[in-house]
Amino acid sequence: DIQMTQSPSSLSASLGDRVIISCRTSQSVTTNLHWYQQKPGKAPKLLIYRASTLPNGVPSRFSGSGSGTDFTLTISSLQPEDFATYYCHQSHSPPLTFGGGTKVEI
Amino acid sequence: EVQLVESGGDRVQPGGSLRLACAVSGFPFSDYWMHWVRQDPGKGLVWVARINSDGSSTSYADSVKGRFTISRDNSENILYLQMNSLRVEDTAVYYCVRASDSWGQGTLVTVSS
């Protein structure tokens, strides 16, 4: 099974800060790595797919990079609506797996 | 607009069964692989199962293998998850997911005596 190591598990940040979240996989997933944002009581929302592609409607302050085993989600300037939990997810091979999540707090 | 609407969640005793359904609309259902993902209250996301576009191939998490069955009806645009021999640790919100990009709102399954 592909293990996911997401860091940090939580962070405190201020409005306007640049935030970087890392995700490492135990073996290569090429670019089959996706990022989600989840707010309390809501379903996860896709932020980045295939490591670096922004879906329509996702603000450009979000960006993703990486391939193979090391990936990064960057929020260039934190906005009030960005306080949430973020998950990485590999769809390269079953069993599909998720990172443990990063809670972004004020 | 892509929509995925889960139903069937309930409270059930250990050893019981439930069938979840996910009705989809707004996209060609038969073109997409589909997944079930669950989330324990207050915890992280766990992939449960997936099915290919025509239903001929399935995969399961080890924790549910042999107990859960994923299936689909492409004529009715519905995804299913048959859950048998339910355990307390199966308690979670279950999400229907399209190919890792679109999620339903979830349905709560509670296994408790």
Give the pair of three-digit tokens for residue B87. 């355990």
pLDDT tens digit string along A12-29?
A: 999 999 999 999 999 999
Chain B touched by A102 (CB under 8 Å): no
Q: Which residue, among B93, B71, B97, B95, has the nearest Cα to B82 in the 3D structure?
A: B71
pLDDT tens digit string along A37-64?
A: 999 999 999 999 999 999 999 999 999 9
Please provide residue A80's backbone torsions phi and psi, each rounded to the nearest 5 degrees. Answer: -55, -35
Please tell me the distance from the alpha carbon of residue B20 to that of residue A88, in angstroms, as a whole number. 26
Chain A / chain B CB contacts < 8 angstroms: 46
Mutate which: A23, A93, A96, vs B, most B CBs within 10 A: A96
pLDDT for the residue numbered A56:
93
Contact flag A46-B100 (C-beta cutoff 8 Å): yes
Q: Measured between beta carbons, which residues in chain B are less than 8 angstroms from residue A98?
A: 37, 44-47
Contact flag B50-A101 (C-beta cutoff 8 Å): no
Taking a contact as any Cβ pair under 8 Å apart, which residues of chain B between 40 and 79 contact chain A? 44-47, 50, 59-62
pLDDT tens digit string along B12-46?
A: 999 999 999 999 999 999 999 999 999 998 899 99
Q: CA dihedral in degrees (A65, A75, A88, B72; nearest 10)?
A: -100
Which region holds residue A51: left if phi is over 0, alpha if psi is between -120 and 50, else beta?
left
Residue type, A82: D
With a pLDDT cut of 70, the percent of chain B lying above it is 100
Q: Which residue of A has its CA nearest to B44?
A: A100
Strands B11-12 vs B107-111: parallel, antiparallel or unpaired: parallel
Residues B57-80: what's their mean pLDDT?
Answer: 97
